[in-house]
Structure 1
Amino acid sequence: MDKDYVMRIAGTIREQLVSMTDTAILMSWGIQEFMATIYKDLPGLKFRVNGHLFQGYVLICLNGSDYYEVYLLNEEETRCISDEVCFDELGEIIDRHVESGTDKEEYARFCEQIVSFY
């Protein structure tokens, strides 16, 4: 796969993720190390997260149907959390698995505990 193509796709994914996701949400993931990558012969973006629910890598790949596939990778497993994600859904889907979960009230209580700790 052409390196320039992979770099261009990774840049587009990063731009879409950052522009369509609230900054506070992105910061809550503890993002580090954005990098272009190829996974399962698909171009993508990989970055390390240190969230409340998941610590490891998030991998976003562009598939042949113009959707994104989103994977979580750590030392224990690699799992696909969705294989048909539109660009405007990336932040919400990743946040649900990395930081906030599905129970918004439980997450709000967790955040209150963190704030009261400091």
Structure 2
Amino acid sequence: EVHTELEESWIKSVTRVKAGQPYIDVEYTVGPVPIEDGIGKEVITRFHTNIKNNDLFYTDSNGRDFMKRKRSYRPTWDLEEFEFVAGNYYPVNTAIYIEDEDASLCVLVD
């Protein structure tokens, strides 16, 4: 079990790896978010993996079915992307996952 407190003392995490389990458990505590500086803040988690998913990923649709997505692509119109990062954020209520022929990574929301 690893406890992490970032420079910003209002963000903490606990990572648990259990022997014999095919998953890790990451628990976050965020807040209170400081607002005194008048600058908006977004807290994200970034995972790095060797999965070759060809920019394809799947997000839940309001906790129901999964929707296939492709980074920087919209199926019904030609996307002119001016905000690359913001243009690739999707709401996730239940789960998001990526996969290739050999492995998959799924992030579940508690």
Q: TM-score, normalised by structure 1?
A: 0.27
Answer 1 or 2: higher relative contact order, Cα 8 Å, separation at least 6: 1
Greater share of residues in helix: 1
Q: TM-score, normalised by structure 2?
A: 0.29
